[in-house]
A and B are shown apart, each in its own frame.
Chain A
């Protein structure tokens, strides 16, 4: 079950279209990485207490090595022309190429949320998150987006705080809200 048999370069071309799904090697590498790291982490554990019949490392070894085996199998399958089928959905148009600009924008908005949330608090960050995401997704009326976002975030903050008794920290607005 290793990549001992290099695939015939002409074969996948005939069976599965022009080229193998190269990105899938990335997925295989990711699985292998998680697997190896799980095994290494398990190996670093102490043997456990005397009464522990199943050592703390046992599951880690099984799962980690399983991941590595799956990664190899996936790499082999990919080399043989296996292609991934993206998930369909109501709003998904698989004929379009991946829109990296929108994705990058959303990633930026989410990371900004992570960085700012403890400092600015949910009421502000939530509004920015909604407005930013809606704008990136193609709605250019950013003033209106910001207004909707503010309404959503302030209502949800009060809803959680007063209605559900879940005290979300207010951040810099502490004392104002």
Chain B
């Protein structure tokens, strides 16, 4: 508690508060802009943080992270084409509400719900993360190796995606991670000295998220303008409050654990929250599919709580489970900080400042964004040629400012082409990024584990935690196969079908 108060006093210094405000504004603005998600935002802003202190950068990222989430929900309520998979469900009811003239209430329940869920989620994060870090700090290299494998498998085999494509993406990422001379010999460097230090993760992330996306959109640019629903200042009356508070809490209860588990992702909790609210809606049940406020309040809360939950494995174990978390991890590494249990001991001030600034960011979001909603809605009208030209502009600037080398810009273009191809062929982006980041660390942990045992492979399952983790990995990999043997559709597949049905039902 004392530590948190110290962190709070750090986060509330005028300078750091300014970074938080900048982060929240930037995060929301780019979150609202179509085609830009929170991961791309953080990636594009990485160069800006090269010369500011680590704590200032982390405070800004906290703002960007929560702001990006919030901005995404505004877009999906006011436009009927959701950008990120986690806001699909918000778009279902939120857009219907907006069409019925209740955009202000939809935005209000999303904003206040995000605040409630984000605050509770951050409290849980503060309570859970140090404890997890304490458990994890005693683990040896074999357990870390197993945990990293788990993270790789988990981000690869998430709900609703083709495993074949997931693993293809992962393998490409791991191959990119091989480049360099970390083992004493040049691997995959084409004898190019510029590749000796490996490929900068900033260049890969910016290329895959920003350049790949810009090229993909350019190839399929919607030429007719989207219908955007105008909105005034968000507000709710007493009846809306009564209908919203319980869904907020239930959504939080779904979101946080799913975010905190290494098999994270916000799709599942938002969907579970949606069907729960529909079931519990009672007299308002008929409104579902036509714009029920419960259907916005619950999933939005779940989405934000899961964002807070994601930070548990990131900070306490050093495992990224979402794209944004992966980019934040890369940013921390560029400061020489290694997220994980040691961070709590080595840099307590930094960690607690970050945690405290999450509360600050969350509050700022509510205070700043309720009045600014009409302004954000206007951002949706930005001419697309300028938007995507701007993305390319900042992507090149970001890659060039890493080393001021033309070579990095060339790499940016090549990986941008890869990012385009991945979107064309439905390869998920997340496994590649996580593979690039975790691949080298996986090798490090394996080397360490086997060095201690002098090459005896059985050391890998010498720790109980490692054994448990391998069992979990086996369940994740084999579970779907077993379920497929049982007649009828089960588990994830059934969920997937239900999501699709829902979407069709509501769209029509």
By a beta-carbon cutoff of 8 Å, the part of chain A in contact with chain B is: 23-24, 27, 30-31, 34-35, 37-38, 41-42, 45-46, 48-49, 51-54, 56, 59-60, 63-64, 66-67, 70-71, 73-74, 77, 84-94, 96, 98-100, 102-103, 106-107, 109-111, 113-115, 117-118, 122, 126, 129-131, 133-139, 145, 148-149, 152-153, 156, 160, 164-166, 168-169
Q: With A and B bound together, what is the CA distance between A137 and B218 in angstroms?
A: 7
Contacts A60-B187, A99-B220, A166-B50: A152 and B447 contacting too (C-beta < 8 A)? no
26 A/B residue pairs, CB under 8 Å, sorted by A: A27-B421, A48-B183, A51-B451, A52-B447, A54-B443, A54-B446, A59-B443, A67-B171, A74-B164, A77-B164, A84-B424, A84-B426, A86-B423, A89-B213, A92-B220, A93-B220, A106-B214, A117-B396, A118-B406, A126-B397, A130-B392, A133-B388, A137-B221, A164-B48, A166-B47, A168-B404
> Which chain A residues lie closer than 8 Å to B455 at the CB level?
53
Contacts A52-B447, A130-B389: A34 and B172 contacting too (C-beta < 8 A)? yes
- Does B79 reach chain A (CB closer than 8 Å)? yes
Q: Of residues 70 to 93 in B, which have CB atoms within 8 Å of A's CB atoms?
A: 75, 79, 81-83
A163 to chain B: closest CB distance in Å?
9
B143 to chain A: closest CB distance in Å?
17
Q: 1/0 contact trace for B373-392 toward A, CB 8 Å?
A: 00000000001111011101
Contact (Cβ within 8 A) B83 A130 = no
Contact (Cβ within 8 A) A70 B167 = yes
Contact (Cβ within 8 A) A166 B51 = yes
> Which chain B residues lie closer than 8 Å to A169 at the CB level?
404
Q: Of residues 398 to 414 in B, which have CB atoms within 8 Å of A's CB atoms?
A: 400-401, 404, 406, 409-410, 413
Q: With A and B bound together, what is the CA distance between A31 and B171 in angstroms?
A: 9
Contact (Cβ within 8 A) A110 B416 = yes
> Which chain A residues lie closer than 8 Å to B178 at the CB level?
38, 59-60, 63
Contact (Cβ within 8 A) B51 A134 = no
Nearest chain B residue, comparing its CB with the CB of A42: B187
B216 to chain A: closest CB distance in Å?
7
Contact (Cβ within 8 A) A91 B396 = no
Q: With A and B bound together, what is the CA distance between A64 and B439 in angstroms?
A: 13
Q: With A and B bound together, what is the CA distance between A160 and B389 in angstroms?
A: 20
Contacts A84-B425, A99-B219, A129-B393: A90 and B79 contacting too (C-beta < 8 A)? yes
By a beta-carbon cutoff of 8 Å, the part of chain B in contact with chain A is: 34-35, 47-48, 50-52, 75, 79, 81-83, 164-165, 167-168, 171-172, 174-175, 178, 183-185, 187-188, 211, 213-223, 226, 383-386, 388-390, 392-393, 396-397, 400-401, 404, 406, 409-410, 413, 416-417, 420-421, 423-426, 439, 443, 446-447, 450-451, 454-455
> Which chain B residues lie closer than 8 Å to A42 at the CB level?
187
> Which chain B residues lie closer than 8 Å to A168 at the CB level?
400-401, 404
Q: With A and B bound together, what is the CA distance between A73 and B220 in angstroms?
A: 29
A68 to chain B: closest CB distance in Å?
10
Known: A41-B188, A71-B168, A126-B397. 12 other contacts (CB 8 A): A52-B184, A56-B185, A86-B424, A90-B81, A90-B226, A91-B222, A93-B223, A117-B400, A130-B390, A138-B385, A164-B50, A168-B400
B218 CB contact (under 8 Å) in A45, A63, A84, A99: A99
> Which chain A residues lie closer than 8 Å to B79 at the CB level?
90
Most buried by B among A31, A53, A102, A166: A53
Q: How many A-B residue pairs have CB under 8 A?
A: 225
Nearest chain A residue, comparing its CB with the CB of B168: A70
Contacts A54-B446, A118-B406: A63 and B175 contacting too (C-beta < 8 A)? yes
Q: With A and B bound together, what is the CA distance between A80 and B443 in angstroms?
A: 36
Contacts A85-B426, A164-B50, A164-B51: A133 and B392 contacting too (C-beta < 8 A)? yes
Contact (Cβ within 8 A) B183 A56 = yes
A134 to chain B: closest CB distance in Å?
4
B187 CB contact (under 8 Å) in A52, A56, A166: A56
Contact (Cβ within 8 A) A165 B83 = no
B384 CB contact (under 8 Å) in A91, A107, A126, A135: A91
> Which chain A residues lie closer than 8 Å to B218 at the CB level?
99, 102-103, 106, 136-137
Q: With A and B bound together, what is the CA distance between A60 and B406 in angstroms?
A: 28
Please give me the 5 A-B residue pairs with the lowest Cβ-Cβ distance, nearest first: A90-B34, A133-B389, A137-B385, A56-B183, A139-B385
Q: With A and B bound together, what is the CA distance between A67 and B226 in angstroms?
A: 40
Q: With A and B bound together, what is the CA distance between A63 and B396 in angstroms?
A: 30
Q: With A and B bound together, what is the CA distance between A152 and B410 in angstroms?
A: 22
Most buried by B among A34, A86, A110, A113: A110
> Which chain B residues lie closer than 8 Å to A113 at the CB level?
396, 409
Q: With A and B bound together, what is the CA distance between A31 and B388 in angstroms?
A: 29
Q: With A and B bound together, what is the CA distance between A111 and B178 in angstroms?
A: 26
Contact (Cβ within 8 A) A98 B51 = no
B34 CB contact (under 8 Å) in A31, A48, A91, A96: A91
